[in-house]
Amino acid sequence: MNLKKMFDLNGRIALVTGSSRGIGQAIAMTLADAGAQIIIHASRNDSHMEKTVAAIRNNGGQARTIAADLASPEEVKKLIDAVGELDILVLNASAQSYQSLEDFTPEEFHRQYEVNLRSSFELVQAFVPGMKNRRWGRILAIGSVNQHKPSARLPIYSTTKAALNNLMNNCARQYASFGITVNNLAPGVIMTDRNVDVLNDEAYRNKVLAMIPAGRFGKAEECASLALLLCSDAGSYITGVDISVAGGMQL
């Protein structure tokens, strides 16, 4: 067994949506370390994108950037056209807001639905044909522990993540015979920019910690290591799975 070869992604092209920071950034940098050419995506061009690309290139990797607002069907189409051929699709970008159900506006509902579900569907639909032709492909959705245990303050986010996992199961069944694996990685509470503000509240922080059997919050790199397995030949016989990286919080 040649472990280096099993995890080797040289010659593969990977798009990681929402990869200028947080979990997406960690996954992008890990796939780059394994040899993949990385497309860094964010909703708009900013310094975070450029710093991520610079870090990958400084480490000997290959990366480029594409900015697109996934809430806009027109910009999703531009993203698809700009990417071209693709071997690995990591659906990491998402929109969320902490609020009760009765506080949601129609606009916020549609924003989360568009970013979290519709754009993911359109990206899969666009890139699957090429993967089928090459008889190799990896699709990995980044879900959430909320798809199993919905937070009262994330009602629409939780719903879209559960729907996304259902879509991945459907795709896994359809495309397995073409050498395409389709899986879902469901993070728990990971210490990223997104979670810093809400966890600054000590009372809320302690309440959340009490829900995690491991007794700590996770790191983005702990999601990235699993992503590498599922996006490489090492994971070629793993499809249709939903794996929580949550310290047991999903239980």
Is 98 one of the annotated active-site residues of the chain?
no
Instruction: Catalogue the E-assigned strands of 70-176.
Output: 88-91, 137-142
Select which of 157, 175, 204, 237 is catalytic.
Answer: 157
**Cβ neighbour number for residue 18 with a 10 Å cutoff:** 25
The residue assigned the tokens 């993203």 is 79
At 103, list the tokens: 């506080």
Name the DSSP class of 96: -
Instruction: Catalogue the E-assigned strands of 77-159.
Output: 88-91, 137-142
Whether residue 94 contacts residue 157, with contact meaning beta carbons closer than 8 Å, is answered with yes
Exposure string for 210-225, b = 16+ CB within 10 A, e = fewer = eebeeeebbebebbbe
Q: List residues with catalytic annotation.
A: 157
